[in-house]
Structure 1
Amino acid sequence: MSADYFTSMVIPMLEGAQMTVLLFLIAIVVSIPLGFVLTLAVKSSNRSIAGLANTYIYIMRGTPLLLQLLVICFGLPMLPGVGQYLVLDRFTAACLGFILNYAAYFAEIFRGGLLAIDKGQYEASQVLGFSKWQTMLRIILPQMFRVVLPAVSNESITLIKDTALLYAVAVPELLHFAQTAVNRDFSIMPFFIAGIIYLVMTLLLTVFFKWLERRFKFE
């Protein structure tokens, strides 16, 4: 394999990896706080709000992410009457799909984290005169963060791999350029290189979350 050929194959794949990383960053930054809002909605004393939140989580976790992406990219514009207003740029539609899907998963992770907090923590905070928001911000959330960190780490690694689904909605990301090189050169090597790039990205994420675990003395 010549250096020129290797360069001509890898550079487009690295450009595609930039799209992969951009989608990951947008999805993770928006879906985590949205997931926590959903968790609060599930725990709401208002049955209607809790019911809607639970239904949303059930639908998003119970249907494939690929199906959701296809519906948002190609299905919504076909709706009678309003479809013309729901036509989105492919990347924007993909970001929306990933955010809505992963928010549901993060909501369940956060709910599990809150359930892991001893009820005595809430009672003690009331005795000390903390308000509900002070209790949540100063006592509950720091403990919950430690509990959910491994699960958030695992879900984040899954997210970086799921970005390969962009290929199915014609967004030019890493796998798109790898497939293009395979078809052009009749070689499986681009797939191996794409795999290495994914491994590097997941390794960086793993190292980052391990640092967070040590930082917050999880281990």
Structure 2
Amino acid sequence: MPVRHPLRWVAAAVMLVLVAMAVNTLVTNERFNWPEQFEYIFAPQIMNALYNTVWLTIVAMVGGVVGGVLLALMRLSDNPILRAISWFYLWVFRATPLYTQLLIWGSLGALFPEIGLGIPFGPVFVSWETNTLLSAAAAAALGLVLNEAAYMAEIVRAGILSVDEGQREAAGALGMSRAKTMRRIVLPQAMRVIIPPTGNETIATLKNTSLVAAVPFAELTFQAQNIYGRTYQVIPMLIMVCLWYLLLSSILMVGQHFLERHFGRSERGAARPARPAALLSSGREQTGGGGGGGGSGDGGGG
């Protein structure tokens, strides 16, 4: 007898009612002001802000991954000084809010009016104004990169530690250097563990770009604030920005899916069972051969 699940039908009916209510609200509530959203969704200022959001995400993740790998290797080093530096960096950037860090980078000129090169505690040979050298775009990118590197360091460290120590010992026995072992043996295997949280970090970084309004820098949320500051259409502009974030996050999720499939192919191959048809045919051939031999023997005996 099939098991009945009446509660599933009740849950499905409740969900359908809630979806119908949500759709009805979206269609009938004039305060969403869909015409206003469609007017600005492809406006030049929004397209420019979208471009800024995308390149900020790319720069933050590339810089964060490179910095995270270096910090992870420092954390796993036998050198206590390198371990201490890495630990201190992670402590500072993971224990303080990203928004506060961006405010500091955006206001760095108030702390250091000039940045120069010279002899420590001695003369300065060349100097630049901090506000000129560190533009709003550079301050936003720098803040995101430094913060992301701290989180990526722990992700990379967890991936490296997931690889069995015997892999390193075997590589050392073959005469491979530590750098080559890390590049050719450890990191390729660690990617299976590193990729899923890195995909999550990429999506989180995409959303964290909205915080660079503290610098300030013209990304999606900042431009939406500028628009609704003139039109007073707060909710429509914020929903429009959410639609763009949904689209970009969906694209990143698809990319993460294919990356996970690529780096997890060895596990799928190991978990795949042997083909039963081939085994059966092989077994039949062996049985048939044995039977034929037996028949010949019987015939010979007769």
* TM-score, length of structure 2 as denominator length: 0.67
Taking the aligned partners of 2:40 and 2:179, their CA distance within structure 1 comes to 55
SS in structure 2 of the partner of residue 129 of structure 1: coil
Matched, 1:116 2:162: yes
Partner residue in 2 for 1:192: 239
SS in structure 2 of the partner of residue 25 of structure 1: helix
The equivalent position to 1:213 in structure 2, one of 251, 260, 265, is 260
Q: Give 1 or 2 for the bigger CA radius of gyration.
A: 2
| Cα-to-partner distance string for 1:173-215 (whole Å, 9 max, x where unaligned) | 1112212232322322111111010000010001001011112
8 A contact 1:35–1:106 mirrored in 2: yes
Partner residue in 2 for 1:26: 59
Cα distance, 1:162–1:81 mapped onto 2, change above 3 Å? closer
Taking the aligned partners of 1:180 and 1:81, their CA distance within structure 2 comes to 29
- 1:81 deviates by 6.8
- 1:96 deviates by 0.6
Q: Superposed, which structure 2 residues align to 1:1-219 within 5 Å? A: 6-8=38-40, 10-11=42-43, 12-74=45-107, 76-79=108-111, 82=114, 85-87=129-131, 88-187=134-233, 188-217=235-264
Q: Name which structure has the greater RCO, CA cutoff 8 Å, separation 6+.
A: 1
- Report the number of matched residues: 218
Taking the aligned partners of 1:178 and 1:39, their CA distance within structure 2 comes to 38
Structure 1 unmatched runs, 5+: none
Taking the aligned partners of 1:140 and 1:192, their CA distance within structure 2 comes to 44
- 1:125 deviates by 1.5
Cα distance, 1:162–1:132 mapped onto 2, change above 3 Å? same
Moved more, 4-13 or 200-209: 4-13
* TM-score, length of structure 1 as denominator length: 0.91
Moved more, 127-136 or 14-23: 127-136
Taking the aligned partners of 2:104 and 2:161, their CA distance within structure 1 comes to 34
